[in-house]
Chains A and B, each alone.
Chain A
Amino acid sequence: MRAVRMCRLGIVVVTLGVVAAIPTRVIAQSPVLLQGIVDGEFWSTNARSNLLTRNRGEPAGLGRIQMWGAYEPLPGLVAYAQGAFEGGSARYEADEQEVSSDQFGLRYTASQHFVIDAGRLTPVIGTFASRHFSTRNPLIGEPDGYSLDYPLGVEVFGDAYRFDYRAAMVSLPTSHAGYEPSPTPRLRPAIGGGYTPIVGLRFGTSFTVGPYLNRDVPVAALKGRSWSDFHQRVIAFDASFSHGYLETHAEAARGRYDIPSGAITGFTYYGEAKYTLTPRFFIAARAERNKYPFIRPTTTTGTSTATWTARLTDFVDGEFGGGYRLSPSTLIKASVRGDRWWVRNTAPGFLGQGGHAVALQVSHAFDAVDWFDRNR
Chain B
Amino acid sequence: MHPLKPFVVQLVPALLASTILAAGVAFARPSHSGAVASPRRTTGRIEGTVEISSALSARRPAFRIYSDPGMGTVPSATPRDPAIAELHNVVLYLEGDPEQLNSPPARLDKGRHGSMAQRDERFVPHVLPVVQGATVDFPNEDDVYHNVFSLSSAAGPKGFDLGRYPKGTSRSVTFTRAGTVQVACHIHSDMSAIILVLANPYFASPDDNHHFVIDDVPEGDYTIVGWHERIKPINRRIHVTAGQTTPVDFNIPLPQGDKGAR
Give chain A's interface residues, CB within 8 Å of chain B: 25, 28-33, 35, 68, 70-72, 75-76, 78, 80, 82, 103, 107, 109, 111-112, 115, 122, 127, 129-130, 132-133, 135-136, 157-159, 162, 164, 166, 192, 194, 196, 198-200, 202, 204, 240, 242-245, 247, 276-280, 325, 327-328, 365, 369-370, 373-374, 376
Contacts A278-B158, A280-B158, A328-B184 given; indicate if A31 touches B58 (C-beta within 8 A): yes
CB distance from B7 to the nearest CB of A (A): 15
Which residues in window 130-166 of B have CB below 8 A to A? Answer: 143-145, 149-151, 158-161, 163-166
Whether A245 pairs with B71 at a CB distance below 8 angstroms is no
The closest CB in chain A to the CB of B192 belongs to: A328
Whether B4 pairs with A277 at a CB distance below 8 angstroms is yes
Query: Residue A242 contacts which of B145, B184, B189 (CB distance < 8 angstroms)?
Result: B145
Whether A32 pairs with B61 at a CB distance below 8 angstroms is yes
Query: Residue A279 contacts which of B60, B69, B161 (CB distance < 8 angstroms)?
Result: B161
Whether A196 pairs with B70 at a CB distance below 8 angstroms is yes
For the complex, what is the distance from the CA of A104 to the CA of B66, rounded to whole Å? 12
On chain B, which size bracket covers the interface?
A: 35 or more
Whether B71 pairs with A279 at a CB distance below 8 angstroms is no
6 A-B pairs with CB atoms under 8 Å apart are: A71-B61, A159-B71, A202-B70, A242-B145, A276-B163, A278-B2
The closest CB in chain A to the CB of B57 belongs to: A29
Which residues in window 33-92 of B have CB below 8 A to A? Answer: 54-55, 58-63, 65-74, 76-77
Whether A129 pairs with B230 at a CB distance below 8 angstroms is no
Find chain A residues with CB under 8 A from B159 CB: 279-280
Give 9 nearest A-B pairs by CB, closest first. A72-B61, A279-B161, A130-B66, A112-B74, A279-B159, A70-B63, A244-B163, A68-B65, A199-B166
For the complex, what is the distance from the CA of A32 to the CA of B55, rounded to whole Å? 12
Known: A28-B55, A198-B166. 12 other contacts (CB 8 A): A29-B55, A103-B65, A157-B69, A159-B70, A166-B69, A204-B69, A243-B164, A245-B2, A245-B3, A245-B164, A279-B5, A328-B182
Whether B55 pairs with A199 at a CB distance below 8 angstroms is no
Q: Is B167 an interface residue (CB 8 A)?
A: yes
For the complex, what is the distance from the CA of A242 to the CA of B68, rounded to whole Å? 13
Whether A115 pairs with B74 at a CB distance below 8 angstroms is yes
Whether B69 pairs with A164 at a CB distance below 8 angstroms is yes
Query: Residue A200 contacts which of B59, B73, B166 (CB distance < 8 angstroms)?
Result: B166
Find chain B residues with CB under 8 A from A70 CB: 61, 63, 65
For the complex, what is the distance from the CA of A376 to the CA of B163, rounded to whole Å? 36
Whether A199 pairs with B144 at a CB distance below 8 angstroms is yes
For the complex, what is the distance from the CA of A189 to the CA of B222, rounded to whole Å? 68
CB distance from A241 to the nearest CB of B (A): 10
Give chain B's interface residues, CB within 8 Å of chain A: 2-5, 54-55, 58-63, 65-74, 76-77, 143-145, 149-151, 158-161, 163-167, 182, 184, 189, 230, 253
Find chain B residues with CB under 8 A from A325 CB: 151
CB distance from A201 to the nearest CB of B (A): 10
Find chain B residues with CB under 8 A from A109 CB: 62, 74, 77
Contacts A199-B143, A325-B151 given; indicate if A31 touches B60 (C-beta within 8 A): yes
For the complex, what is the distance from the CA of A129 to the CA of B151, rounded to whole Å? 27
The closest CB in chain B to the CB of A33 belongs to: B61
CB distance from B31 to the nearest CB of A (A): 39
Find chain A residues with CB under 8 A from B62 CB: 72, 78, 109
The closest CB in chain B to the CB of A327 belongs to: B151
Query: Residue A374 contacts which of B5, B65, B165, B230 (CB distance < 8 angstroms)?
Result: B230
For the complex, what is the distance from the CA of A278 to the CA of B5, rounded to whole Å? 8
